[in-house]
Amino acid sequence: MNKKNLIGTFSLNTCPNITEIISKNLDYLIIDREHGSHDFNSTNIVNKIIKKNCMSLIRASNLNKIEIQRCLDLNPDGILIPQISSYEDAEFAVSCSYFKPNGDRGLSPYTAAFDYNHNNSDNKKKTINKKIFIGLLIEGSKGLEALEDICLNFAKDISLIYFGLYDFTSSLNLKPEWHDPKVIKAVKKIVKICKNHKIRVGSIARNYNEIKFLKKLGINFICYQNDTGIIHEIFSHIKKIK
């Protein structure tokens, strides 16, 4: 997807109908297995729905080879891998996400990623390696310190660097406020590093004004709240006009 700015959200709910409605209006939707209640059955169902409407991504529940492998076997458009707190974490995440010779991802051809058959497996591996969208969720001060080396060495392997506002500001001992000058300065540094290596940079916006603000900062993968937050916000407004 070559659009300059991508806007989407995280999916914590497991309802296929809500997922379908939301996905029709976004550039991407992230099935959240880290903070949501998705098991692999619901992940499989909503992934197929999302792929019809926008880019389908799965946030793995943790930095674990089998977890990453099982998420990718469902054949999403890509994966977001959390808990990247060092260069070694990034190296491990990339290795788990790609088949040989790019990485060390395990293989079963009888999965959705291979159309449930073993025919042309070598060609399928090459195609998957070429098109997969890999996002790394950078966490903690050590993760941020390693960002330059991560981008320098894995620019050809990763599509996105994502940092959460709350974890990011906590690592700086600051409040989670985008307009804090110290936050802005730190974000600009992250954006510059990612831009130099042609990697998307993403984070969360909690309202429409923050979407505009993040665009100005150069963040081009904007996550608007998550689906449960959006639903809560809408019905809170309705409650006020009863």
| The pLDDT of residue 239 is above 80 | no
Amino acid at 89: D
Tally of CB atoms within 10 A around 23: 24
- How large is the angle between the packed helices 65-73 and 87-97, nearest 10 degrees? 40
Per-position b or e across 27-45, b if 16+ CB within 10 A of its CB: ebbbbbbbebebeeebbbb
Band (31; pLDDT cuts 50, 70, 90): very high
Q: Scan for tokens 């076997």, then name that residue.
A: 73
Q: What Cα–Cα distance (Å) separates residue 240 from each residue in 33, 177, 196? A: 33, 26, 46
- Quick: pLDDT tens for 36-83: 999 999 999 999 999 999 999 999 999 999 999 999 999 999 999 999
- Asked if 229 and 210 count as a contact pair (C-beta separation under 8 A), the reply is no
* pTM for the predicted model, two decimal places: 0.94
Q: Given the DSSP bridges, would you call strands 133-138 and 200-205 parallel, antiparallel or unpaired? A: unpaired
- The chain-wide mean pLDDT, for the chain, equals 95
| The pLDDT of residue 176 is above 90 | yes
| Tokens linked to 192 | 């510059």
Band (3; pLDDT cuts 50, 70, 90): confident
Q: What Cα–Cα distance (Å) separates residue 230 from each residue in 11, 91, 219, 234? A: 10, 34, 21, 6
Band (1; pLDDT cuts 50, 70, 90): low
H-helix or E-strand spanning residue 68: helix 65-73
